Amino acid sequence: MNDVPAPERPVVAADAVDALLKEVRPDMTYRELDVVVRKRKRVAAPREPASGKVMRIAVAGDATTNYVAAPLPLLLEARGIDAVLHHVPYASLEAEVLREGSELARWRPDLLIVMQTPLAIKDWPGEFEGAQAVEAFVAARVEHVMTLCERARERFGCEVIVDNWHTLPLRPHGSLGRRMPGERNSVIRRMNAELDRRASDGVRIHDVEGLSSLVGSRRWVDWRLWFHAKQPMSFESIVPYGFSYAAAIASSYRGDVKCIAVDLDNTLWGGVIGDDGIGGIHFQQGDPQGEAFQEFQKYLARLKARGLILAVCSKNEPENARLPFEQPGMVLRLDDFAAFKANWMPKSENIRAIAAELNIGLDAIVFVDDNPVERGLVRSALPTVKVVEMPEDPADYPMALDKTGWFEAARISSEDLQRTQQYLDNAKRRELAASVTDYESYLRTLEQCAYIGDFLPEQIERITQLVNKTNQFNLTTQRVGSGDIQALVGRDDVLRVAVRLTDKFGDNGLIAVLYGSFRGDELLITQWLMSCRVFNRGVEQMTMNHVVARCRERGVRRIIGEYRATKKNVVVKDLYERLGFARDKAEDTSESEVQFWALDLSGYEDLPHSIEVNVYGSESK
């Protein structure tokens, strides 16, 4: 002991603190948590506060709160928040808030938390009172506590979080209680509804009613603890209660989690798409495994709807990874993801790329992967990324995410609700705003290589599929039957173009189809579509250059492009304009959603792109 040089001791202590914080898990028992709390107290705090600031939390309550609140600083520290507690003496919140120069006022809290228990209510209305008397009781009770909270907020400039009430584990009148406004739990439900109505961004509700029902109200209360010590909840309940408070506090004092990066195989669907194929993976209704994965996807969709961004982070061939999202029955679709990383790079690299692309911190990312090896790699490479410990059974996936408490938010903003769209827009804007040379040089690093030419026999099936499945980059959305594409092959009056694209990450396969018919010295393009994952990579320009070259060989002087607006193809609304076409009013029909665009070939110069082009027949591989 004595030969440890003194200056190194803080470092040892900091490591000890980190080791202790790693022991903090939502599923720990109260005894385990208590042991860590005690050990943490014994380690001096040589660390700099993780957040650079120590948060001052005042705890008030209508019962004994010291044991209940004791684990909070540790639980917050585990979330990167350094906090000190101040206990407002039992049942003296009124005086502390309202009196000038009170101890609480001098202490200057950043946050006031108000713990409440229905066990402390002594003036219940009569159980057989009518609704009117009950409403008066409810209004008075809620008015009292909310006024105090609002006053505290004004006076101390602090945020306030107030418990709602859990329902009681005693039901002397059974289900009949639902018809009795004065029955205890009926009164509690009304009080909670009233509390919800009065809540605001500054005075938030801590949902003890919801939390206690997850644990079970019979386990939530320990009557002996109440009678002996006026402690409002069992020791067992202190753990979820503390975690829940830490989540509620962290949601407004730390940057929220902004993005969930998910693996695909055995995380979003059952099986491995690359091995099992589209028919072999589980994501369908009617298949128990499939339904479990669907439920998980629905959980993610609910988070996404509130403004969390979804990103894919999967080791897969990009082609394979996207395929399942185009299938009916898949809950999440490609456009639910603001970033899509499917490749063979280390996942930590992809998570870094996602963070850079979305312009968010690594600590704003939650990583979800069924594979413990991948989780371990990400944990060690990127310690600030939040990694969910996933259970083996997909049926338990949603609850595993739910239990982390990482997705709590202090408020809902309309901005949040549009967040994914915003990020998509931003990504587009960045591309437009970034100087052309920058984006061009990025595209050049992709080492894109296109194979372009007539339809090949082995491509017919894929072409049919692409024509019928593509919604976004699809100028006319004209679906075809199984023999229709084959019928075009060999016709001299039809121009057929298929594009396969490779880049340094692999083969994207057949990604674009165009065909049209020659009439006199004009070409009318009736079908043009492209897989959405190769948007804005120069394929459009490259394809048009090819079409123009083929037209010039035949002496064609004008190209007419048709655009039919659908709900999904806005992305190509301006495509022809961008490629140098002009609106051809003469060809426009009365149907306003059908537009024709014309290109005069005499002035056409090849559009720039950075794709190496291989035309079939000349130098096809």
| Residues at the site binding another protein, with contacts judged by CB under 8 A | 64, 66-67, 222, 224-225, 227-231, 235
* Cβ distance to another protein smaller for residue 224 or 573: 224
Question: Minimal distance in Å, beta carbon 31 to another protein?
Answer: 9
Residue nearer to another protein on the CB measure, 87 or 230: 230
What is the spatial distance between Cα 219 and Cα 232, in angstroms, rounded to a whole number?
Answer: 12
Task: Pick between residue 236 and residue 484 the one whose CB is nearest to another protein.
Answer: 236
Closest CB to another protein among residues 35, 409: 35
Residue 34 vs 396, nearer CB to another protein: 34
Rounded to a whole number of angstroms, the minimum distance from the CB of residue 68 to another protein is 9
Q: Which helix (H) or strand (E) holds 190?
A: helix 184-198
Min dist CB 57 to another protein, Å, is 20
Would you state the structure tokens that stand for residue 181, as one six-digit string? 């406004």
- Residue whose CB is less far from another protein, 128 or 223: 223
Q: What is the β-pairing status of strands 337-343 and 558-564?
A: unpaired
> Which parts of 81-183 fold into alpha helices (H)?
93-98, 103-107, 131-156
Nearest to 512 by CA among 574, 588, 448, 577: 448
Task: Give the position of tokens 């609002």.
Answer: 150
In the bound state with another protein, the residue whose beta carbon lies nearer, of 53 and 228, is: 228
Q: How far is the CB of 42 from another protein (least distance, A)?
A: 10
Helix axis angle, 397-404 relative to 288-305, nearest 10°? 30
**CA distance linking residue 455 with residue 452, whole number of Å:** 9
Least distance between another protein and beta carbon 279 (Å): 54
Determine how β-strand 558-564 pairs with β-strand 506-519: unpaired
Q: Tell me how far, at minimum, the Cβ of 239 lies from another protein, in Å.
A: 14
At its nearest, how many Å lie between another protein and the CB of residue 22?
24
Element (H, E) at 503: strand 494-503
Q: Are 516 and 523 in contact (CB under 8 A)?
A: yes
Instruction: Report, in Å, the least distance between residue 37 CB and another protein.
Output: 13
- Here the tokens at position 9 are 């001791």
What is the token pair recorded at 360? 């968010």
Residues counted in the chain: 621
Are the C-beta atoms of residues 155 and 198 closer than 8 Å to each other? Answer: no
Structure tokens at 332: 């999440």
Among the listed residues 244, 231, 246, 247, the one whose alpha carbon sits nearest the alpha carbon of residue 68: 231
SS3 583: strand
From the list 123, 117, 129, 133, the residue with the least C-alpha distance to 169 is 117
Note the helical H segments in 306-388. Answer: 318-322, 347-358, 372-381
Of residues 243, 245, 259, the one with CA closest to residue 300: 259
Q: Which of 442, 615, 437 lies closest to 537, judged by CA?
A: 442
For residues 225 and 601, which CB has a smaller minimum distance to another protein in the complex? Answer: 225
Measured distance CA(342)–CA(340) in Å, rounded: 6
User: How far is 353 from 376, CA to CA, in rounded Å?
Assistant: 19
Residue 99 or residue 224: which is nearer to another protein going by CB? 224
Q: 38 vs 306, which CB is nearer to another protein?
A: 38
Choice between 207 and 222, CB closer to another protein: 222
Smallest distance, Å, CB 378 to another protein?
39
Measured from the CB atom, is 68 or 460 closer to another protein?
A: 68
Which CA distances in Å does 522 have to 202, 513, 564? 66, 19, 20
- Toward another protein, which CB reaches closer, 43 or 443? 43
Minimal distance in Å, beta carbon 161 to another protein?
23
Distance CA 353, CA 365 (A): 12
What's the CA gap between 242 and 246, in Å, rounded?
A: 6
Non-local CB neighbours of 306 within 8 Å, separated by 6+ positions: 409, 412, 416, 417
Nearer residue to another protein within complex by CB, 156 or 226:
226
Q: Angle at the Cα of 465 (from 460 to 467), degrees rounded to 5? A: 95
> How big is the CA angle at 141 (ends 136 and 143), to the nearest 5 degrees?
90
**Please, which residue, 230 or 403, has the CB nearer to another protein?**
230
Q: Are 314 and 322 in contact (CB under 8 A)?
A: no
Angle between helix 347-358 and helix 372-381 axes, rounded to 10 deg: 60
Least distance (Å) from another protein to the CB of residue 235? 7
Q: Given the complex with another protein, which of 229 and 487 has the nearer CB atom? A: 229
Min CB(185)–another protein separation in Å: 24
Least gap, CB of 64 to another protein (angstroms): 6
Least separation in angstroms between CB 62 and another protein: 16
Task: For residues 474 and 512, give the distance between their C-alpha atoms in angstroms, rounded to a whole number.
Answer: 10
To which residue do tokens 């919801």 refer?
A: 210
Least Å from the CB of residue 359 to another protein: 48
Secondary structure (3-state) at 368: strand
Instruction: Give least dist CB 231 to another protein, A.
Output: 5
